[in-house]
Chains A and B, each alone.
Chain A
Amino acid sequence: MGMPRSLRRCIRCCTIVLLASSPLSAQIEDHLAAYTGANAKGYLEPLADAAGISLSGGLYRGARIPKAGLTISLEFPVTGLFFTGDDETFMAATEGGFAPQRTVEAPTVVGPTQAVIVDGDGGTHFAFPGGFDVGSFAIVAPQLRVGSVFGTEAMVRFFVARIGGSELGRIMLAGFGARHSVSQYFPAEPPFDLAAGFFWQRLTLGENGSGADLLEAGAWSFGAQASRCFSMLKPYTGLWYNSYTLDVSYESDAGGEPETIEIDFEKDYVQWTIGLELDIALFDLFAEYNVAGRGSFAFGLALGF
């Protein structure tokens, strides 16, 4: 049986939203070409943070996992964050033979669009590129949840598409994980459901001048969550340990000769999630806020039984 037309349209719309970040990625390499390592890291840091943190949103909507029986849920969480004023600039150092060496406040990738120009010896100048003036970051991460065997369910995230024509590369999100019901082992009926699980993900975005991925992110999440049903409403909470790495590889001629610059980001953090699900027959609506060093959110729709 083919996929229902309405579902295909739904996925296509989600694709549009997922690609929200792709025009940004497609042009980032142009901006980065002016920078070598240290400046590029500062320039990209808000985007790296956003991509890494957003991957850990929307991984669950509750802790109830039946001991046995078929459960299937196709979910479309939108997960992301808002940038703050602190994300708009970073301290950048002059490069490329400019003298004297100066460190100034310059736009990050999400900062103001105007370049910043500083004066140097003998009437020379040095310019730092502008940003894209972006206020938020979000991705849609289509995911399928299937259960359950011995109180265990599995979940996969997958999405792949070419972006803006073949020369810009593709976006691919893949991930898998599992959760296990802990409350099934409680001797008496507990006042809430409790589960624990893990999730692994990999996101690649764009294509650099040498044909490799412009951006590659990997994320691990481990944690436990609890929830309780009140008729159609299900509040949930969870404590997760998240870890992500993000590698950016691009071509730069800022040092005089063309070279491949590779920069890495890495972060580990604990995240507390509070969320609410509204259960309406075959579909659920959910929203959550994630408290960590940087707050993020997720909301979306789930179809299933």
Chain B
Amino acid sequence: MSAAAIMLAVAAGWTGCLVEDRQVEIVLNDEHCERFAEHHTAANYVTPGLLEFSDELDVLLADNGIDKEQIVDAFLVGGFFEVIEFSHPHDWEIEGIITVERTDIADDPDTLVVYTSVSVEDALGNRTRMTLHPRGVAAIDRALDDYLAGGYPALLLTVISGGVQPPPSPVDPLSFRWESCLAIQVIYTLETRIIDPLGG
């Protein structure tokens, strides 16, 4: 048997034996953002924003070529806010809450964020982490579970102002645009074959 044939046999047998199946858990990151335009002449205001939650998850899965059946888990990781447009001679300090509720089913709003003494000027262009409330986190995680189970949840975020300093008025209106983002992770299983060249 020639040297080449020996090499052939060894290599073919070697690679054939050492191909192994793996189910690897891969993590995808996703962010769901909603922009709010605030223009108010009074301190107490309410601003709703509909989050295209399921649509964006559909896009995430399609972009990564994943079926829902491959998903092991999905959950909320954290949240950010950032003022994206503000131009005023003086700063404003705001406080209030952000609630989340399902619009695809009968649901009560749950508190997602409680914010106090936030400077609008300081938040301009400054991506800031939000401290999330357990009830709101649970509501979003339930929505993710329902999505994975075949539902198509829609989420309504509502900003409920609790106070503005100095108080806005018709001659000095509070006006800015801001964005709230929710960071989500999706864990899915990838079935793959690897070659462990020498075992081990």
Q: Decide: B133 and A122 in contact? CB cutoff 8 A.
A: yes
B35: interface (CB < 8 Å): no
Is the CB–CB distance between A138 and B183 below 8 Å?
no
Partner of A132, one of B31, B181, B187, B194: B194
Q: Give every chain A residue within 8 A of B22 (Cβ-Cβ).
A: 113, 132-133
Query: When A113-B24, A122-B133, A123-B138 are in contact, do A99 and B78 touch as well, CB less than 8 Å?
Result: yes
Q: Is the CB of B8 within 8 A of A132?
A: no
Interface of A is mostly: mixed
CA distance A19 to B197 in the complex (A): 10
Q: Quick one: CB contact mask for A1-22 with B, threshold 8 Å, 1 for yes?
A: 0001011011001101101110
**What 1/0 flags go to B126-137 for Cβ under 8 Å of A?**
010111111011
The number of residue pairs between A and B whose CB atoms lie closer than 8 Å in the complex comes to 170
Contacts of A17 in B (CB 8 A): 11, 14-15, 197
Contact (Cβ within 8 A) B29 A135:
no
Interface-lining segment among B47-55, B69-77, B86-94: B69-77
Most chain A CB within 10 A, of B22, B130, B134, B181, is at: B22
Q: Enumerate A122-137 residues with CB–CB distance to B below 8 Å.
A: 122-137
Chain B residues with CB under 8 A of A96: 29, 77-78, 183, 185
The closest CB in chain B to the CB of A15 belongs to B11
A87-130 interface bits toward B, Cβ cutoff 8 Å, 1 = contact, 0 = none:
00000000011110000000000000111010011111111111
B12 at the interface (CB under 8 A from A): yes
* Chain A contact residues, CB within 8 Å of chain B: 4, 6-7, 9-10, 13-14, 16-17, 19-21, 23-24, 27, 30-31, 33-34, 76, 78, 80, 82-83, 96-99, 113-115, 117, 120-138, 253-254, 256, 282-283, 301, 303
- B-to-A contact residues, CB < 8 Å: 2-8, 11-12, 14-15, 18, 22-31, 64, 72-73, 75-80, 127, 129-134, 136-138, 141, 181, 183, 185, 187, 190, 192-200
